[in-house]
């Protein structure tokens, strides 16, 4: 459910606003430690984030989240005990 909700905004926000959000989140960490590898890597990665990337991320999160909300018959069968008794 959370993945589905997290994926929906990717359809409506611009890559620039996503980049601004990441900068807002990583700025405090980079001000303390400018060599923080994780924060710097995330910031570099989001700098190359395109509209197509946002569409893919949104679609992936929504579809993946829905697949857990509506599992297929096969996965329910495996989840609840495996084999049927004849």
Which pLDDT score is estimated for 38?
Answer: 93
User: What residues contact residue 21 under an 8 Å CB cut-off, 6+ apart?
Assistant: none
Q: Are 43 and 30 in contact (CB under 8 A)?
A: yes
Please tell me the predicted confidence (pLDDT) of residue 69.
Answer: 76
pLDDT of residue 23: 93
In this prediction, residue 65 carries a pLDDT of 86
Contact by Cβ (8 Å): 10, 54: yes
Q: Where are the domains of the chain?
A: 2-79
**Residue 66: predicted pLDDT:** 87
Single pTM value for the model? 0.63
Low-confidence ranges of the chain (pLDDT < 70): 71-86
pLDDT of residue 60: 92
The pLDDT of residue 70 is 75
């Amino acid at each position: 459910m959370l993945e589905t909700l997290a994926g929906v905004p990717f359809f409506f926000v611009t890559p620039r606003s996503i980049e601004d959000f990441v900068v807002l989140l990583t700025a405090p960490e980079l001000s303390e430690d400018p060599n923080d590898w994780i924060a710097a890597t995330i910031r570099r990665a989001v700098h190359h984030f395109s509209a197509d990337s946002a569409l893919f991320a949104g679609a992936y999160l929504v579809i993946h989240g829905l697949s857990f909300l509506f599992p297929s018959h096969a996965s329910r069968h495996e989840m609840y005990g495996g084999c049927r008794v004849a």
